[in-house]
């Protein structure tokens, strides 16, 4: 049971948090000044180039846009088919599963895991209620609206998330 990555998008469609746990295949494009460690760096950067070229490595920003696009379009499809209140829980491909949870405030939590993982919705709800609300929303210093690429830079949230997720999954 492996978690590949975890994303949080706010209601303005910005990626405000991103964490990679395991990326066996996709190396990130090296960042200009900070070297090529890439994966867990949360600073948002503009990578000089244009749109991603299909086969090459993608930067975190492009990845975030693709993930958000997929999630947003699927939500639209589900709304068309089933009604306004509905949303999807999870989709599965041949190699991974994407789990989705949207709160009443339009915060979107996305987790990409391998196929063996099931029933992760309560975990996403718990991350929102027990970690995000407690450490980020209730923090008087953190911004209310994450504009201009400002992300969730909250140490307690990072630690709490790690402590919460590591016992649940297997890391290499």
Partner 1 sequence: MVVYSLYILNKAAGLIYQRDFNEGLKRLSSNDYLVLSGTFHAVYAIASQISPVPSSSGIEVLETETFRLQCFQTLTGTKFLLISEPRQQNTDAILRRIYELYADYVIKNPFYQIEMPVRCDLFDRHLATFIKGIP
Interface residue with partner 1 among 1, 77, 159, 170 (CB under 8 A) is: 77
Q: How many CB atoms lie within 10 A of CB 169?
A: 18
Ramachandran bin of 131, using left for φ above 0, alpha for ψ from -120 to 50, beta for the remaining angles: alpha
Q: Which of 54, 119, 122, 140 binds partner 1 (CB under 8 A)?
A: 54
163: buried, middle or exposed (CB in 10 Å: 19+, 13-18, 0-12)? exposed
The C-alpha atoms of residue 146 and residue 144 are separated, in whole angstroms, by 6
Neighbours of 38 (CB within 10 A): 17
Q: Which of 132, 134, 133, 152 is nearest to 142 (CA)?
A: 152
Q: Which stretch binds partner 1 (CB under 8 A): 37-45, 62-70, 122-130, 158-166?
A: 62-70
> Which SS3 state, helix, strand or coil, does residue 159 take?
helix
Closer to partner 1 by Cβ: residue 12 or 23: 23
User: Contact between 51 and partner 1 (CB under 8 A)?
Assistant: no
Beta bridge partners of 167: none
Q: Quick check: 39 binds partner 1 (CB under 8 A)?
A: no
The site for partner 1, by CB under 8 A, has a size of: 36
Q: Which of 1, 34, 40, 89 binds partner 1 (CB under 8 A)?
A: 89
Contact pattern from residue 100 through residue 139 relative to partner 1, giving x for each residue in contact according to CB under 8 A and a dash for the rest: ------------x-x-------------------------
Please give the residue ranges that form the binding site for partner 1 (CB under 8 A).
Answer: 4-5, 22-26, 54, 63, 66-67, 69-70, 73-74, 76-78, 80-83, 86-96, 98, 112, 114
């Amino acid at each position: 049971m492996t978690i590949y990555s975890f994303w949080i998008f706010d209601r303005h469609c910005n990626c405000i948090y991103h964490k990679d746990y395991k990326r066996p295949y996709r190396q990130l494009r090296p960042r200009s000044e900070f070297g090529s460690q890439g994966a867990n760096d949360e600073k948002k950067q503009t990578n000089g180039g244009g749109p991603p070229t299909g086969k090459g490595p993608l930067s975190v920003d492009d990845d975030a846009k693709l993930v958000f696009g997929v999630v947003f379009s699927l939500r639209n499809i589900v709304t068309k088919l089933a009604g306004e209140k509905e949303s999807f829980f999870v989709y599965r491909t041949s190699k991974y599963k994407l789990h989705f949870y949207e709160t009443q405030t339009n915060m979107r939590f996305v987790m990409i895991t391998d196929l063996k993982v099931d029933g992760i919705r309560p975990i996403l709800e718990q991350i929102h209620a027990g970690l995000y609300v407690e450490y980020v929303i209730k923090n008087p210093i953190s911004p209310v609206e994450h504009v201009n690429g400002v992300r969730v830079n909250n140490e307690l949230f990072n630690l709490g998330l790690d402590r919460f997720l590591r016992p649940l999954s297997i890391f290499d």
